[in-house]
Chains A and B, each alone.
Chain A
Amino acid sequence: MLLAEANTPVTDWIYTLVFMAVFVTTLMAGLWVVIARDVIRAGVSLFICLSGVAGIYFFLNAQFLAVVQIMVYVGGTTVLILFGVMLTNRAPVLTSRRATDRTLAGWLATVIVAAPLFVILVGRDLMEKKDVKTANGWFTMKEAAAQAPINTVALGDALLTSYILPFEIASLVLLVALVGSAYLARRREDESGIEGRLS
């Protein structure tokens, strides 16, 4: 029975199609972040782009990272950023004052950095060491089935054995950031703050 067979062309096709959809959405949303004039809309496209990156992680066999990405970036960071937009801008429809004089310089610097980046990341033939597992390309059902997902338990083990020092340093950085941002944004007596808008 065709339906019950694993890895039919149909399932492969669906898999690749979903990947392409996620990929294109991520790319477009990423571009829109720097094109949009409205700050809130830029924030929304950032939200879409970061969700798309989480989707890419699912396809790259990093389920745990994908979920962490949604939790930290999509559920945390973007909320904070939108929160920041709302606290620091008055009108509901905001347009960014575009610094036109720096746009050309921005283009130039971007091209100077981006060109080597593309050569390094994309130009080289990564598949020169072909082997059985990657011969089909990455984003096929067959490949996904062949690849055991990197286990969360093993990742946790690595976190607390091989990488304990960076892990601890990261926790220290987070603590310092927490205290520092609370200090920076604290309510001062002499200022009529924007906290009034909250309550």
Chain B
Amino acid sequence: MLEPKIVFALAAVLFSVGLYGVLSRGNLVLLLMSLELMLNAANVALVGVARYWAGMGGAADDFSRAHSGQFFTLMVMAVAAAEVGVGLAIIVAVFRRKHTSAADLATELKH
């Protein structure tokens, strides 16, 4: 018998893993991948909560509660798609200038 917790555990693990990736990877594309992991972790948690509310039963506004979780997941997906598009454009621009995709070397804004 599986508890709902297992979904939240998955979300927590994915988020932590993504966070670690963002903090420790040196390649810009890998940073983007780790960001995607974190966003997906949030989505899993949102859908899990939506499922939890839908399972509670009884109250009249359950339906909208369940929907708000799924709806915000949709929003996160849209924003994530935009984020990847802009992120990749920036990476390509950096690569053209520097001929590398290492995050440490894009330091123009420092000086």
Band of interface residues on A: 35 or more
Closest chain B residue to A194 by CB distance?
A: B96
Among B62-111, those with CB < 8 Å from A are 63-64, 66-68, 70-71, 73-75, 77-86, 88-93, 95-96, 101-102, 104
| Complex alpha-carbon distance, A128 and B41, angstroms | 24
Complex contact A174–B78 (CB within 8 A): yes
Complex contact A46–B36 (CB within 8 A): yes
Q: What are 5 contact pairs spanning A and B, CB under 8 A?
A: A87-B95, A98-B26, A131-B57, A131-B58, A173-B78
Dominant secondary structure of chain A at its interface with chain B:
helix
Dominant secondary structure of chain B at its interface with chain A:
helix
B-binding residues in A (CB < 8 A): 16, 19, 23, 26-27, 30-31, 33-34, 39, 42-43, 46, 49-50, 53, 56-57, 60-62, 64-65, 68-69, 72-73, 76-77, 80-81, 83-85, 87-89, 96-99, 102-103, 105-107, 109-110, 113-114, 117-118, 121-122, 126-127, 129, 131-134, 136-140, 143, 147, 150, 154-155, 158-159, 162-163, 166-167, 170-171, 173-174, 176-178, 180-185, 191, 193-194
| Complex alpha-carbon distance, A60 and B19, angstroms | 25
Our pick among A33, A60, A118, A131 for the contact of B51 (Cβ within 8 Å) is: A60
Complex contact B25–A180 (CB within 8 A): no
| Complex alpha-carbon distance, A154 and B43, angstroms | 20
Also in contact, A122 and B67, with CB within 8 A (given A34-B25, A140-B1, A178-B85): no
| Complex alpha-carbon distance, A186 and B51, angstroms | 43
Q: Which residues of B contact A185 (CB under 8 A)?
A: 88-89, 92-93
Complex contact A139–B17 (CB within 8 A): no
Our pick among B33, B52, B77, B102 for the contact of A81 (Cβ within 8 Å) is: B33
Complex contact A62–B70 (CB within 8 A): yes
Complex contact B85–A60 (CB within 8 A): no
Q: Which residues of B contact A49 (CB under 8 A)?
A: 14, 37, 40
Complex contact A99–B26 (CB within 8 A): yes
Among B16-56, those with CB < 8 Å from A are 16-21, 23-30, 32-34, 36-37, 40, 43-45, 47-48, 50-52, 54-56
